[in-house]
Amino acid sequence: MRLRVLGCSGGIGGRHLRTTSFLLDSDVLIDAGTGVEDLSLAELSLIDHVFVSHSHLDHVSSIPFLVDTVGGMRAKPVTVHTTRATIEILRNHLFNWAIWPDFSEIPTPGAPFLRYEEIEVGRTMSIGGRSLTPLPADHTVPAVGFHLDSGQASLVFTGDTGPNDALWKLVNRIRNLRYLIIETAFSNKERQLADVSKHLCPTTLAAELAKFEGSAEIYVTHLKPGEIELTMQEIEECAGGLHPRMLQNGQVFEL
């Protein structure tokens, strides 16, 4: 398994700032923020599956354009895998004919460009021999993280989440965990905003990592543009013993 970071920023502002998206091998997206836009047409046409952590725009913005762009080039629909609650949000508020056409019905209901498949926390799915398991997240909308397991090694992506005891109960059971990607959206001066929006700041990140009983390379994602240096400095001060590093666009993880 090979996971490439297409976007890991909490905002936009140049090619190095793209919102959340990861490409697993050549055919699976984990979230579909603005980072998907940098893929070529040929690369886009190979994507069969999109696993969506939650419905916020910075994680789903490229799905409408992806489906519209490559739907007619493909012999089968793109499958969006997400929770029942998120499927309903996407149907009602994005693919609703007012914001974007409902590609689960066109060009025909029998042969659409897009289909949905419901996922559940803790229920492992196998996609071409690769295991993906939704993990609990605590956010302002229904949300999950993901555990990717090749059999040889694992990666956990927390998704957008505030403090989350349920996550660590599962993560601490993973014996082959190699990489942990965890969000920190705000600096400590924005602690109140982080708490209200159910994100982490360096202080709460340190408290969460204190619950982690294993060992892994730790990477921080979802940093807000304009506060990157400050936030990483605060992370070093709060959680430096665990050596969290900033996730970078284009970074590749081999599992």
The gap from C-alpha 251 to its chain's centroid, in whole angstroms, comes to 15
Check if the beta carbon of residue 80 is closer than 8 Å to that of residue 119.
Answer: no
> 177: how many CB neighbours lie within 10 A of its CB?
20
Query: Which fold would CATH assign to domain 120-247?
Result: Metallo-beta-lactamase; Chain A (3.60.15)
Locus of tokens 């914001």 = 99
Residues of the chain with CATH 3.60.15.10: 1-82+84-118, 120-247
- Give me the tens of pLDDT residue by residue for the chain, a chain 255 residues long: 999 999 999 999 887 899 999 999 999 999 999 999 999 999 999 999 999 999 999 999 999 999 999 999 999 999 999 999 999 999 999 999 999 999 999 999 999 999 999 999 999 999 999 999 999 999 999 999 999 999 999 999 999 999 999 999 999 999 999 999 999 999 999 999 999 999 999 999 999 999 999 999 999 999 999 999 999 999 999 987 889 999 999 999 999
3-class DSSP assignment, residue 14 = coil
Assign domain 1-82+84-118 one CATH number from 3.40.462.40, 3.60.15.10, 3.40.50.300, 3.20.20.140: 3.60.15.10
Give this prediction's pTM: 0.97
The gap from C-alpha 123 to its chain's centroid, in whole angstroms, comes to 17
